[in-house]
């Protein structure tokens, strides 16, 4: 449904971009209404099922709380999926192709389920594995190694990052001491203990910086950090880990050896040799977050990247976001398209021409690449799903240059073209469009079945 603009153009004080936003026909619009023709074509309805799917409550959950993460699942959401299908699958084998910090795999292990994952960001793979592979670490040994850290040999902050802008001088000196202490741990130290200490270090970096993630990394205007915060927060994190390991070793001891495998791999290309009962995942959202730039501080300090070029190389392999390199889009050769994608592309093209200028003029191709990337991922996984198995995806839809993009319905359509049945699409949350704040978007849970 289109609406007349809310504000007539009477003033010269607005920028061209603001004028486009103010005069957008999508002001006060709603994705549910714009979805109607697509839903009709698929022959389905969207079910309203509000639920807490986001990572934030995990700050109170053992293991999950070891690393702060913004774009992950809540443990309770993953558990609710396991419970929903507990009568259908006995000991299901689980996959999350977009592992992130490993919420799905940690929750699977807490249930004794074998799980797998792929993840392209080496830092996130490291975080997921440190959370998954340390369950039998001796808490006494961890404390002993931690207490013996030698802070006298410092190691300089990563040179490609602007660390003197990210941290106060005193905090930076203290971080360089902690990094020095970790890098100089004796060679015979248990690797998994080193990983836990590195994980603790990575998890405090943004907290002690002048930055915040909300969800993108940016400067926090009013943030005062005590110079000793790195030591205090490290101490708290290590003690939190010890507390959680004690719980795991008493209450979940039977699952300590449950197998998990996370591969540093591109989900668009990785050929799985295992079969799965449930794939539970959340891909990057189109137009959304850059999973490399957002974690560049931790990637640099933990030696997972040593230059901007290395960061860019990881980013360009990912499912596309609108921060992608122009050259990558210029060279994009699609494997997949459909009539919806082509219509959406030409509407975006038309609107960009009408506006005269847009932040990415190659946006129609970025949108196309997003669905092409998702097709590549899904077509690698679907053959590995057992009969009656499920592919569950959480995604958000988008509004781009006044064109509604029904990401959830398009992903369901791709699933259908690969032979899956669309079992249900649930609306879990209402979101606001980044550009037109009055336009309501949704976050959906798509359940597809083989």
Applying CB under 6 A, what is the total number of residues that bind ligand SAM? 24
Q: Given the rule CB under 6 A, which of 118-126, 160-168, 204-212, 225-233 is the region that contacts ligand SAM? A: 118-126
Tokens linked to 211:
């930055």
Show the binding pattern over residues 280-319: x = contacts ligand SAM (CB under 6 A), - = does not. --x-x------x--------------------------xx
Report the nearest approach of ligand SAM to the CB of residue 446 (Å).
Answer: 14
Which residues, listed in sequence order, are joined to residue 449 by a DSSP beta bridge? 390, 421
Q: Which is nearer to ligand SAM, 282 or 407 (CB)?
A: 282
Pattern 96-115, ligand SAM, x by CB under 6 A: x-x-xxxxx-----------
User: Does residue 71 interact with ligand SAM by CB under 6 A?
Assistant: yes
Q: Cα separation of 300 and 110, whole Å? A: 31
CB of 138 to ligand SAM, least distance (A): 27
Which CB atom, from 111 or from 174, has the smaller least distance to ligand SAM?
Answer: 111
* Burial track 155-192 (b if 16+ CB lie within 10 A, e otherwise): bebbeebebeebbbeebbebbbbbbbbbeebeeeeeeb
81 vs 142, beta carbon nearer ligand SAM? 81
Neighbours of 245 (CB within 10 A): 20
Enumerate residues 264-283 that contact ligand SAM by CB under 6 A: 266-268, 282
Q: Closest Cα to residue 49, out of 331, 446, 443, 427? A: 427
CB neighbourhood size of 243 (10 A):
12
Of the CA atoms within 13 Å of residue 311, those in its CB half-sphere come to 19
As measured in angstroms, the least distance from the Cβ of 98 to ligand SAM is 3
- Are 394 and 283 in contact by the 8 Å Cβ rule? The answer is no
Min CB(71)–ligand SAM separation in Å: 4
Q: Does 29 bind ligand SAM (CB under 6 A)?
A: no
Q: How far is the CB of 100 from ligand SAM (least distance, A)?
A: 3
Q: Which residue has the tokens 């013996």?
A: 148
Alpha carbon distance 283, 124 (integer Å): 14
Q: What is the DSSP string of 345-396?
A: HHHHHHHHHHHS--S-TTHHHHHHHHHHHHHHHHHHHGGGEEEEEEEEEEEE
From start to end of 237-275, where are the E strands? 260-264
Residue 124 interacts with ligand SAM (CB under 6 A): yes or no: yes
**What is the number of the residue whose Cβ is closest to ligand SAM?**
100
Q: Which is nearer to ligand SAM, 58 or 351 (CB)?
A: 58
Given the rule CB under 6 A, which of 65-73, 137-145, 197-205, 300-308 is the region that contacts ligand SAM?
65-73
Residues that bind ligand SAM (CB under 6 A): 69, 71-73, 96, 98, 100-104, 118-121, 124, 266-268, 282, 284, 291, 318-319
């Amino acid at each position: 449904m289109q609406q007349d603009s809310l504000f007539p153009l009477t003033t010269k004080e607005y920028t061209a971009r603001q004028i486009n936003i103010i005069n957008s026909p999508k002001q006060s619009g709603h994705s549910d209404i714009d979805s109607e023709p697509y839903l009709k074509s698929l022959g389905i309805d969207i079910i309203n099922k509000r639920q807490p799917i986001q990572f934030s409550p995990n700050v109170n959950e053992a293991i999950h709380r070891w690393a702060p993460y913004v774009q992950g699942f809540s443990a309770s959401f993953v558990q609710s999926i396991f419970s929903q299908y507990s009568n259908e699958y006995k000991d299901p084998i689980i996959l999350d192709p977009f592992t992130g910090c490993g919420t799905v795999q940690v929750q699977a292990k807490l249930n004794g389920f074998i799980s797998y994952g792929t993840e392209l960001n080496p830092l996130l793979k490291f975080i997921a594995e440190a959370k998954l592979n340390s369950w039998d670490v001796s808490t006494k040994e961890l404390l002993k190694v931690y207490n013996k850290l030698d802070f006298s040999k410092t190691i300089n902050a990563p040179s490609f990052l602007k660390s003197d802008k990210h941290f106060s001088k005193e905090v930076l000196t203290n971080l360089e001491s902690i990094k020095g202490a970790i890098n100089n741990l004796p060679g015979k130290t248990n690797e998994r203990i080193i990983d836990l200490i590195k994980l603790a270090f990575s998890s405090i970096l943004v907290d002690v910086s002048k930055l915040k993630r909300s969800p993108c990394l940016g400067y926090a205007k009013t943030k005062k950090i005590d110079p000793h915060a790195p030591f205090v927060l490290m101490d708290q994190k290590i003690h939190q880990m010890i507390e959680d390991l004690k719980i795991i070793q008493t209450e979940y001891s039977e699952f300590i050896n449950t197998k998990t495998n996370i591969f540093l791999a591109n989900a668009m290309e990785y050929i799985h040799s295992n079969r799965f009962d449930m794939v539970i995942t959340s891909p990057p959202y189109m137009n959304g977050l850059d999973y490399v730039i957002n974690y560049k501080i931790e990637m640099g300090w933990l030696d997972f990247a040593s230059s901007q070029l290395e960061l860019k190389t990881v980013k360009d392999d990912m499912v596309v976001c609108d921060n992608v390199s122009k050259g990558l889009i210029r060279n994009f050769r699609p494997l997949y398209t459909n009539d919806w994608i082509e219509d959406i592309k030409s509407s975006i093209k038309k609107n960009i021409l009408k506006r005269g200028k847009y932040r990415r003029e190659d946006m129609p191709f970025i949108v196309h690449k997003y669905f092409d990337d998702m097709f590549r991922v899904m077509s690698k996984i679907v053959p590995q799903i057992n009969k009656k198995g499920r592919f569950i995806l959480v995604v958000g839809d988008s509004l781009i240059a006044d064109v509604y993009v029904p990401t959830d319905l398009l992903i369901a359509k791709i699933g259908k073209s690969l032979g899956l049945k669309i079992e249900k699409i649930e609306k879990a949350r209402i979101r606001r469009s980044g550009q037109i704040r009055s336009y309501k978007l949704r976050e959906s849970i798509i359940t597809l079945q083989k």
